[in-house]
Amino acid sequence: MLNVENLSTHFFTKRGIVRAVDGVSFSLSRGEVLGLVGESGSGKSITGYSLMGLVDSPGKIVDGSITFDGQELRSLDARGWRAIRGKKIAMIFQDPMATLNPVLRVDTQMIEAVLAHDAVPKAQARDRAREALSLVGIASPDARLESYPHQFSGGMRQRVAIAIALLHKPALIIADEPTTALDVTIQGQILAEMQKLCAKTGTALLWITHDLSVVAGLADRIAVMYAGRIVEQGATDQILAAPAHPYTVGLLDSIPSRNVRGQPLRQIPGAAPTPAETTAGCAFAPRCSQKKSTQCTQSAPQVSMHEGRALRCFVPWVHHA
């Protein structure tokens, strides 16, 4: 349904070119959940914005293709994008107030969102709004429709934003860290409900997060992003059981777990490269415990298949049983 091939989105700033997304490829089938994971600044949001046609100057998609339902999205004009955005592809942002208008009642906003794409009577639009609110687990949706965003808790507000994303039963939802600001219990509830909803409706989900443990129980597949590139991509259970990229190994090691209780948490040494930094070698090499000096610092690894996953690494991690 979605096929992203060699997507590159760069920012042309006074201080140089920022290669925020640099040759990213992945695909998504109907009903599939892909977790896009990586540290802050690795290019996850810009990947999502690129798929929604939301990249603004000085940013620009400079290469690659995005095909969705057989259509090349890069060739769409503003009108073409309006027909797709919110209708076939919807996005949920970290801050629900990016979606909600603080001065309008929830019903006003939801009805407007329905009418933006479907010319239906207002009463019918309201019914759809009510239905969407119950779908995301909001009790007494009729009364809640008459509330303003500030009358909801943070978790409930995010549920409303999710309900708005669901209004048109999109084929694809891009969720950009929608639960990061919420407490762990609420986060777990929303995740579980999203997963159920998508399975039921056949909606594909691109779930963006900096927290690998969030997608561990949610995604069918995981794509690990580092410095604008996907460095490892494959089935979730395979990646969790035997991560191949040293960066994925580091991410997994830095998740607190009960098995290592009482021991200091391991962390990946060093920091991610600043966006305008470029290197001829692998971007992760400076932090990598596995690197082979000349190979890894002088050329960038291309994507190759390794034990069922797409990997950008010259020296995949070897697991010792």
Residue closer to ligand ADP (CB basis): 238 or 279: 279
Do the strands 229-235 and 309-311 form a parallel or antiparallel pair, or are they unpaired?
A: antiparallel
Which listed range, 34-42, 72-80, 98-106, 182-190, lies at the site for ligand ADP (CB under 6 A)?
34-42
Q: With the C-alpha atoms ordered 99, 173, 171, 46, is the resulting torsion angle positive or negative?
A: positive
> How far apart are alpha carbons 36 and 233 in whole angstroms?
9
In the complex, the smallest distance separating the C-beta of residue 20 from ligand ADP, rounded to whole angstroms, is 3
Residue closer to ligand ADP (CB basis): 41 or 234: 41
| Site for ligand ADP, residues 228 to 287, rule: CB under 6 A | 275
Identify what 20 binds: Mg ion, ligand ADP, none; CB under 5 to 8 Å per kind: ligand ADP
- Work out the number of other CB atoms within 10 angstroms of the CB of residue 222: 29
- The single residue among 23, 35, 59, 234 that binds ligand ADP, judged by CB under 6 A, is 59
Residue closer to Mg ion (CB basis): 273 or 316: 273
Residue closer to Mg ion (CB basis): 45 or 99: 45
Identify what 59 binds: ligand ADP, Mg ion, none; CB under 5 to 8 Å per kind: ligand ADP
In the complex, the smallest distance separating the C-beta of residue 176 from Mg ion, rounded to whole angstroms, is 6
> How far apart are alpha carbons 21 and 280 in whole angstroms?
16
Give, to the nearest 10 degrees, the angle between helix 122-135 and helix 106-115: 110
The terminus-to-terminus CA distance of the chain in angstroms comes to 38
- The single residue among 23, 35, 38, 86 that binds ligand ADP, judged by CB under 6 A, is 38
| Site for Mg ion, residues 37 to 66, rule: CB under 5 A | 45
Contact between 42 and ligand ADP per CB under 6 A: yes
Q: Is 145 in contact with 105 (CB distance < 8 Å)?
A: yes
- The single residue among 7, 18, 92, 198 that binds ligand ADP, judged by CB under 6 A, is 18
Residue closer to ligand ADP (CB basis): 40 or 302: 40
- Work out the number of other CB atoms within 10 angstroms of the CB of residue 313: 23
Compute how many residues bind ligand ADP; rule: CB under 6 A. 15
- HEC string of 80-144 equals HHHHHECCCEEEECCCHHHCCCCCCCHHHHHHHHHHCCCCCCHHHHHHHHHHHHHHCCCCCHHHH
3-state SS class at 184: helix
Identify what 41 binds: ligand ADP, Mg ion, none; CB under 5 to 8 Å per kind: ligand ADP
> How far apart are alpha carbons 68 and 55 in whole angstroms?
17
Residue closer to Mg ion (CB basis): 4 or 244: 4
Given the rule CB under 6 A, which residues bind ligand ADP?
A: 11, 13, 18, 20, 38, 40-46, 58-59, 275
Given the rule CB under 5 A, which residues bind Mg ion?
A: 45
